[in-house]
């Protein structure tokens, strides 16, 4: 791809995105709820698109296509199991939403701290989220760097790509907090869904229509249409990959925080249904890309090249290829800027807010805004260093965040859960997950995520039985949810 075209498209995108970010300014962003939650007034349409953009990072169209290229239809199953897990929003979404409004929660960790009546709970969950999500952001940046470098033949260097992405992520958060992030996310999601579908149609047509497409798969590489197929997705690998992702929608704070933002339960519903439709289409698109690349270019050394190769192929007009390429960059940014905001809000509200006396809302907001660039710089530096440990933490992020799932489920469905049980289950299991990933251990053939979930669940239950739970708070909390939801869903 011509570097001039890529640069031109990046500039056009940036102009539109900045314009939209300024237009999104509405009301004041001078409180924690205003800046980090958009005053709990996001409408369903923006919520749905922004939720999709935040969830689907750059690696959907690169990584999932690559995974399909390597492992066949199992990659599709992996993503569909994750997709099914988003149904957890239908169960937990309204519960997060009503207590968020009632008690004024800004972060999921704050909610857990209050529910279990322990500041340390909030601190431990916030810190473990930072531990896994900063490296995850760093790896997103690394991805953009390689991608831009790759498609322009080095004309846009790795570092330039990383710097552009970091600066844009910072800019989008600063203009109006979550509002500007949500609106630029929506722009990105809309561009991507439209252009990537066009690419699919062009490619399928080029391969002789749907019949031709499947005929070629069936005759040239039949194993790609089954699991375990070529062995890539043996059952235990599949289970180990899918379990942590199944719980993504409640375990990852950058998406569970979104449950506080819609203006009504109806908007929350639109967010969920909108996401499901978007996600279903996007999943099929990414998988078809991977399959198409395996038909067109069966001998790639690196499966992550599947998407770049496809976009540079004769079947896709160059201008469309460049739009999608910039869209992939924007997808990474839309994931990073949301993570930046979430981590900053957790750090200022749950860590600093709980460790200092007289922490006012205004002070927390100032600290939160100061922390955003610091986290961004950390992610940038990690991306530059390309340390092994960073890659390990990033891979471990979905497995590492799963350890808070028992505490989250317990908060809404089990009165006996105690604070010390949450603290021990989250901290011990996080450390075990990191050790398993670092030393590449797979005890009994089970991946770290499964161990993390088993261990954190056992510790949570056993320690809860041995300690005292905040029964009074639990009853009040659960009763309020019950009464409010039965009223509003009547």
Partner 1 sequence: MHKREILLGLLLLVIVLLGYILPYTVFTNVAKWYGSFLVWTVLALIVIGINYFLTRNWGDDQ
Interface positions with partner 1 (CB under 8 A): 73-74, 76-77, 80-81, 83-85, 87, 90-91, 94, 101, 214, 217-218, 222-223, 225-228, 235, 238-239, 242, 246, 264-266, 268-269, 272-273, 276-277, 280, 283-284, 486, 488-490
- Residue 14 or 239 having the CB closest to partner 1: 239
Closest among 104, 103, 108, 81 to 93, alpha carbons compared: 108
Q: How far is the CB of 73 from partner 1 (least distance, A)?
A: 5
- Residue 28 or 266 having the CB closest to partner 1: 266
Residue 182 to residue 106: CA distance in whole angstroms: 16
The 8-class DSSP code of residue 264 comes to S
Closest among 390, 125, 27, 97 to 270, alpha carbons compared: 97
Q: How far is the CB of 269 from partner 1 (least distance, A)?
A: 4
Q: How far is the CB of 217 from partner 1 (least distance, A)?
A: 8
Closest among 135, 134, 112 to 124, alpha carbons compared: 112
- Residue 85 or 108 having the CB closest to partner 1: 85
Residue 236 to residue 433: CA distance in whole angstroms: 17
- Residue 236 or 438 having the CB closest to partner 1: 236
Residue 177 to residue 335: CA distance in whole angstroms: 14
Q: How far is the CB of 88 from partner 1 (least distance, A)?
A: 9
Token pair 């007289």 is at which residue? 358
- Residue 180 or 237 having the CB closest to partner 1: 237
Q: How far is the CB of 480 from partner 1 (least distance, A)?
A: 13
CA atoms within 13 A on the CB side of 172: 36
Q: How far is the CB of 206 from partner 1 (least distance, A)?
A: 18
| Cβ pair 21, 183 in contact under 8 A | yes
- Residue 31 or 216 having the CB closest to partner 1: 216
Q: How far is the CB of 280 from partner 1 (least distance, A)?
A: 6
Q: How far is the CB of 486 from partner 1 (least distance, A)?
A: 8
Buried b / exposed e over 420-453, threshold 16 CB at 10 Å, is bbbbbbbbebbebbbebbeeeeeeeeebbbbbbb
Crossing angle of the two packed helices 471-488 and 88-103, in degrees rounded to 10 = 110
Token pair 């968020």 is at which residue? 100
Q: Give the CA distances from residue 255 to residues 184, 433, 452, in Å, rounded to whole numbers and listed in that order.
A: 16, 22, 20
- Residue 223 or 369 having the CB closest to partner 1: 223
- Residue 85 or 177 having the CB closest to partner 1: 85
Q: What's the full length of the chain, in residues? A: 490
The 8-class DSSP code of residue 260 comes to G
Rounded to the nearest angstrom, the gap between the alpha carbon of residue 365 and the centroid of all alpha carbons in its chain is 24
């Amino acid at each position: 791809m011509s570097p001039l075209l890529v640069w031109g498209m990046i500039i056009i995108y940036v102009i539109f995105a900045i314009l939209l970010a300024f237009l999104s300014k509405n009301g004041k962003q001078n409180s924690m709820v205003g800046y980090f939650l958009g005053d709990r007034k996001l409408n369903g349409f923006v919520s749905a698109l922004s939720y999709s953009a935040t969830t689907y990072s750059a690696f959907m169209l690169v990584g999932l296509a690559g995974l399909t290229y390597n492992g066949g239809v199992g990659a599709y199953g992996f993503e569909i199991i994750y997709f099914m897990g988003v149904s957890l929003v239908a169960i937990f979404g309204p519960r997060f939403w009503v207590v968020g409004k009632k008690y004024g929660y800004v972060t999921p960790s704050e909610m857990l701290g209050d529910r279990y009546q322990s500041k340390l709970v909030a601190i431990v969950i916030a810190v473990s989220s930072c531990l896994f999500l900063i490296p995850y952001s760093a790896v997103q940046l690394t991805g953009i760097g390689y991608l831009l470098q790759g498609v322009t033949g080095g004309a846009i260097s790795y570092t330039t790509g990383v710097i552009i992405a970091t600066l844009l992520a910072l800019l989008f958060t600063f203009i109006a907090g979550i509002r500007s992030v949500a609106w630029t996310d929506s722009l990105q999601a809309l561009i991507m869904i439209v252009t990537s579908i066009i690419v699919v149609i062009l490619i399928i047509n080029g391969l002789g229509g749907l019949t031709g497409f499947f005929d070629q798969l069936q005759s040239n590489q039949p194993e790609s249409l089954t699991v375990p197929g070529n062995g890539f997705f043996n059952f235990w690998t599949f289970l180990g990959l899918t379990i942590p992702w199944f719980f993504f929608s409640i375990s990852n704070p950058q998406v569970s925080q979104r449950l506080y933002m819609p203006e009504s339960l109806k908007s929350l519903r639109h967010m969920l249904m909108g996401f499901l439709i978007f996600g279903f289409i996007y999943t099929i698109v990414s998988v078809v890309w991977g399959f198409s690349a395996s038909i067109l270019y069966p001998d790639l050394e690196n499966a992550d090249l599947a998407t770049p190769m496809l976009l540079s192929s004769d079947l896709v007009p160059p201008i469309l290829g460049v739009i999608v390429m910039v869209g992939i960059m924007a997808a990474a940014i839309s994931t990073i800027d949301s993570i930046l905001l979430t981590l900053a809000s957790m750090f200022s509200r749950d860590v600093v807010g709980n460790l200092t006396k007289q922490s006012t809302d205004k002070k927390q907001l100032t600290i939160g805004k100061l922390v955003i660039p610091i986290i961004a710089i950390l992610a940038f530096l990690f991306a530059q260093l390309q340390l092994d440990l960073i890659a390990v933490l990033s891979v471990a992020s979905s497995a590492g965040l799963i350890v808070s799932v028992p505490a989250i489920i317990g908060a809404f469905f089990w009165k006996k859960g105690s604070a010390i049980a949450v603290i021990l289950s989250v901290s011990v299991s996080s450390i075990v997950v990191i050790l398993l990933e670092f030393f590449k251990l797979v005890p009994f053939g089970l991946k770290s995520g499964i161990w993390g979930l088993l261990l954190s669940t056992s510790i949570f239950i056993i320690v809860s039985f041995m300690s005292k739970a905040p029964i009074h708070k639990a009853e009040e909390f659960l009763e309020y949810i019950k009464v409010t939801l039965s009223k509003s869903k009547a």
